[in-house]
Amino acid sequence: FYSYSYIEVSEGRDLLHNTQRAEMAIFYFPCLLLLTMFSSYGFADITTSSPLSIRQTLSSPDGTFELGFFNPNSSQNHQYVGIWFTKVTPRVYVWVANRENPVTSSTASLTINSNGSLVLLDDKQKLLWSSGEEALTSNECRAELSDYGNLVLVDNVTGTHLWQSFEHPTDTMLPLSSLMYAIPNNTRRVLTSWKSNTDPSPGEFVAELTPEVPPQGLVRKGSSPYWRSGPWAETRFTGILEMDETYVNPLTMVQDVVNGTGVMTFCALRNFDVSYIKLTWDGSLNVRRSNGSNTGWIKHLEGPLSSCDLYGTCGANGMCIRSISTPTCKCLKGFVPKSDDEWNSGNWTRGCVRRTELSSSSSCQGNSSSTTQSKDTTDGFYRVANMKPPDSYELASSGDAEQCRQGCLGNCSCSAFSYINGIGCLVWKHELLDVVQFTQGGEFLFIRLARSELAGSKRIKIIAVSAISLCVIIILGLAAFGCWRYRVKQNGQARVAMEVSEDSWKNHLKSQDVSGLNFFEMHTIQTATDNFSISNKLGQGGFGTVYKGKLKDGKEIAIKRLSSSSGEGTEEFMNELKLISKLQHRNLVRLLGYCIEGEEKL
């Protein structure tokens, strides 16, 4: 279901009918399956004879939502008709009818008039709000609140939905609701923030779906861009870092390029009972979720998160580095500040300009002589990683990344390109606006620069690589020399220790009245036993193995090699030497000597 596609619709149909009536079936059919399966009409509704008054509420069948009058500011006697969640605290209002005309009287009613429209009347029967639809009906209508928070005006006879709040959102999207645009009839479905946290009247922020190809989400502050999501790439917005390839997106996107329409639908978050997307009064887009009143609301996504996310923080051709610490601005490679004084003072809004103008060679013009153009005079591309794709992009019909590169290089007006999985080739033909670099993730952006700018970069790279290589060689040489010195020192200490150990053992044996024993070198024993060959093995006990051997003078000997795991220490070894040296029997061989080297005891 998480797909982004271009569709063609047969000519001659009525576009307004398409966007307002067939939209629910065409654009989010998967989500509507749920509505069809679980809809219920077994609860009280609003009718001409049964209006909704102050201090009365209309609940959805499952009790998730409630419709009624509310006062968000206790200091003012202003009542609004709205819809809110009933099972989760704090209370969140998801739709408001009379945003610009609050009820100031003590009585008011939400009812259905003779034209089949849903209307809000005060105590003097003054019209404060209307659904605005004068549909052809049987004059028997009702308004009901669905389990999805959608207030629907229904014709009792035909069952036709004459009007629904999902097609007229305020500041919140619920699962199955959508934002859309239709260029031919100049219609849009947008979110409009509250004026303040306690004033539901329309604020200065508007969230919309742009008609670019591919589309992107955009929040405006008045008429100026405030924050944008980056272009849509099949299952994600490329400018929202949290939406990586592993993210299960609750949004679906369908764009009809031929007929100039697009719809973004919000489906329920998996494994959560309720969820919503809200445009707050201060311009933030929040996605919240909950499994009930005990858990409260959990943040799922939020933006903007950094000053870098605000539109055009670093001006044209300026890049905002979005780090954990304070975000900073720098000019893109090959660009310099338009005003050094302003840039150094922290005023980056005027952005940067090219240091070297691009080539106007024949290769850029795309004529037949381009093949003779010298590589030293043509433009090239500088790759920048972890980027949010800049604004004002165009989708190019290129097969792969190399064709995308060649297409940009052959177009004089092309200033950059990016090949993005799920989109294809995007090109930029003007200044690069709203450029952001993440610490990780993001896309590759290839910026077109004059060859001289790239040559300087290559020289710097060569110098840097050479310097690093030299440093590595020096470090490795010093490390090797240090290891050699250490081993020489250790070997010297070992020899000294061996000599000291041999002398100390001889003296110790002499003091123990065990004189006359020979001290054998390890290499003598290894030669005699053919390096402890398995063929010379006589037997094995709990404390070691016995080998036969032959000395250089032809004398046959037996060697007991104590096991390192035997646990026999110096004292035990000494006792064994003393005992064997004093034993005399015709069936016992005489003890000739011993060998000690490191951990070896023989």
| The pLDDT of residue 222 is above 60 | yes
Question: Burial letters for 180-198: b for 16+ Cβ neighbours within 10 Å, e otherwise?
Answer: bbbeeeeeebbbbbbeeee
Per-residue confidence at 327, pLDDT binned at 50, 70, 90? Answer: confident
Percent pLDDT > 90 in the chain is 50
Given a cut of 80, is residue 4 above it in pLDDT?
A: no
Average pLDDT score, the chain: 83
Identify whether the C-beta of residue 152 lies closer than 8 Å to the C-beta of residue 95. no
Chain-centre distance of CA 60, in angstroms? 36
Residue 584, judged by CB atoms within 10 A of its CB (0-12, 13-18, 19+), counts as exposed
Q: 4-305 and 512-601: same fold?
A: no
Residue 359's pLDDT is 76
Q: How far is CA 131 from CA 67, 134, 161, 165, in A?
A: 15, 9, 13, 9
CA 414 to chain centre: 29
pLDDT of residue 270: 75
Residues 578-583, mean pLDDT to the nearest whole number: 75
**What is the CATH architecture of 4-305?**
Orthogonal Prism (2.90)
Q: State pLDDT tens for residues 274-291.
A: 999 999 999 999 999 998
Distance CA(6)–CA(262), nearest Å, equals: 9
pLDDT of residue 19: 45
Place of tokens 């007006």: 413
The angle subtended at Cα 119 by Cα 118 and Cα 121, nearest 5°, is: 155
Identify the band that residue 582 occupies on the pLDDT scale cut at 50, 70 and 90. confident
Most confident of 41-45, 441-445, 506-510: 441-445
Strand partners, 601: 596
Q: Check residues 602 and 491 and name the one with the higher pLDDT.
A: 602
pLDDT of residue 5: 39
Residue 22 in this model has a pLDDT that exceeds 80: no
pLDDT tens sequence across 73-98: 887 889 999 999 998 989 999 999 99
Instruction: Provide the pLDDT for residue 505.
Output: 60
Per mean pLDDT, which of 6-10, 263-267, 397-401, 462-466 is the most reliable? Answer: 263-267
Q: In angstroms, rounded to a whole number, what is the distance separating the alpha carbons of residues 530 and 553?
A: 15
Determine which of 68-72, 349-353, 365-369 has the lowest per-residue pLDDT on average.
365-369
pLDDT of residue 20 exceeding 70, the answer is: no
Q: If you average pLDDT over residues 214-235, what whole number do you get?
A: 95
The pLDDT, as a whole number, for residue 26 is 42
In this structure, what is the dihedral angle of CA atoms 446, 447, 451, 457, given to the nearest 10 degrees?
-80
Q: Which of 266, 263, 51, 290 is nearest to 150 (CA)?
A: 266
Instruction: State the pLDDT confidence band at 393, using cuts at 50, 70 and 90.
Output: very high
For the chain, give the longest Cα–Cα distance. Answer: 134
Going 581 to 587 to 592 to 593, the CA torsion angle's sign is: negative
Which pLDDT band holds residue 316 (cuts at 50, 70, 90)?
very high
pLDDT digits (tens, 9 = 90+) for 527-538: 999 998 888 888
- The pLDDT-based confidence of 572 (bands split at 50, 70, 90) is confident
Query: So what's the pLDDT on residue 32?
Result: 41
For residue 545, CA distances in Å to 496, 521, 561, 564 come to: 29, 18, 5, 11
Which residues lie below 8 Å from residue 347, measured CB to CB, with a gap of 6+?
A: none
Q: Does 499 score more than 60 pLDDT?
A: no
Distance of CA 529 to the CA centre of its chain: 67
Q: Which residue has the higher pLDDT, 386 or 483?
A: 386
Written as one string, the DSSP assignment of 14-66 is -HHHIIIIIHHHHHSHHHHHHHHHH----S--B-SSS-EETT-EEE-TTSSEE
- Flag whether 126 is marked binding: no
CB 84, CB 151: distance < 8 Å: no
Whether pLDDT at 564 is above 50: yes
Rounded Cα distance, 409 and 366, in Å = 9
**Band of residue 11 on the pLDDT scale cut at 50, 70, 90:** very low
* Distance (Å, whole) CA 439 – CA 442: 9
**Structural element, H or E, at residue 504:** helix 451-511
pLDDT range class, residue 102, cuts 50, 70, 90: very high
Helices within 156-203 (DSSP H only): none
Q: How far apart, in Å, do the first and last CA atoms of the chain sit?
A: 77
Q: Which of 108, 73, 96 is nearest to 172 (CA)?
A: 96
CA dihedral 59, 103, 98, 75 (to 10 degrees): -90
* Confidence check: pLDDT of 2 > 70: no
pLDDT at res. 599? 76
Indicate whether 315 pLDDT > 50. yes
Model pTM greater than 0.75? no
CA dihedral (49, 55, 60, 63) positive or negative: negative
pLDDT of residue 561: 86
Read off the DSSP letter of residue 268.
P
The two tokens of residue 356 are 């070297």
Contact criterion met (CB below 8 Å) for 317 and 415: no
- More confident call, 599 vs 468: 468
The alpha carbon of residue 121 and the mean position of all alpha carbons in its chain are separated, in whole angstroms, by 49
The pLDDT confidence band at residue 224, using thresholds 50, 70 and 90, is: very high
CA-to-CA dists, residue 225 to 255, 264, 491, angstroms: 22, 19, 74
The phi and psi torsions of 541 (rounded to 5 degrees) equal: -120, -170
Q: What is the pLDDT of residue 183?
A: 95
Domain residue extents for the chain: 4-305, 318-369+377-449, 452-503, 512-601
Query: For residue 227, what are the β-bridge partners?
Result: 219
Which of 132-136, 435-439, 492-496 bottoms out in mean pLDDT, i.e. has the lowest? 492-496
Distance CA 505, CA 495 (A): 15
**493 pLDDT band (50/70/90 cuts)?**
low
pLDDT of residue 9 exceeding 50, the answer is no
Q: What's the pLDDT band for 37 if we cut at 50, 70, 90?
A: very low
Band of the pLDDT at 7, cuts 50, 70, 90?
very low
445, β-bridge pairs: 384
DSSP string over 356-420: SPPP--HHHHT-GGGGGS-TTTS-EEEEEEEEEPPBS-EEE--SSHHHHHHHHHT-TT--EEEEE
Residue 570 contacts by C-beta under 8 Å, 6 or more apart in sequence? none
Which of 392-396, 402-406, 506-510, 593-597 comes out lowest in average pLDDT? 506-510
Instruction: Quote the CA–CA distance of 233 and 239 in Å, as a whole number.
Output: 10
CATH 3.30.200.20 fits domain 512-601: yes
Q: Of the ranges 17-21, 104-108, 261-265, which one carries the lowest mean pLDDT score?
A: 17-21
Written as one string, the DSSP assignment of 310-333 is STTTT-TTEEEE--SSS-EEEEPT
**Residue 523 reports pLDDT greater than 50:** yes
pLDDT at 17: 42
Of the candidate ranges 228-242, 331-345, 522-536, 588-602, the one whose mean pLDDT is the lowest: 588-602
- Give the pLDDT band (50/70/90) at residue 149: very high
Structure confidence at residue 38 (pLDDT): 37
Find residue 6's DSSP bridge partners. Answer: 255
